[in-house]
Amino acid sequence: MWMEEELGTRINGNRSEEAVPTGADEIAVACPFCRVMLSDALTSQQAAGSAPQNVEVVDVARMLLAAVRRGAPA
């Protein structure tokens, strides 16, 4: 379905290494491929101990749904 990188570093590793130091608990993505790509890289970083275990990759639509539910009257 997609081609693996053969030269240089993997883009998913680069992106997760940029996102984790921000201190965010959630990394928002808007496409399924990006979610898989970043989740794989984040899992590798967490296994190596270079990323906190509480960080997760979340779809933007799920974040929006959670925000709407929080704001709904009881």
pLDDT in tens, 4-39: 667 777 888 999 999 999 999 999 999 999 999 999
pLDDT(73) > 80: no
Instruction: Specify whether the CB–CB gap between 35 and 29 falls below 8 A.
Output: yes
pLDDT at 10: 83
Reduce the DSSP state of residue 48 to 3 states and report it. helix
Q: Delimit the domains of the chain by residue range.
A: 11-71
Question: Rounded mean pLDDT of the chain?
Answer: 89
- To 10 degrees, what angle do helices 11-19 and 32-48 make? 70
Q: How many CB atoms lie within 10 A of CB 38?
A: 22
Q: How many CB atoms lie within 10 A of CB 68?
A: 9
How far apart CA 46 and CA 3 sit, in angstroms, is 24
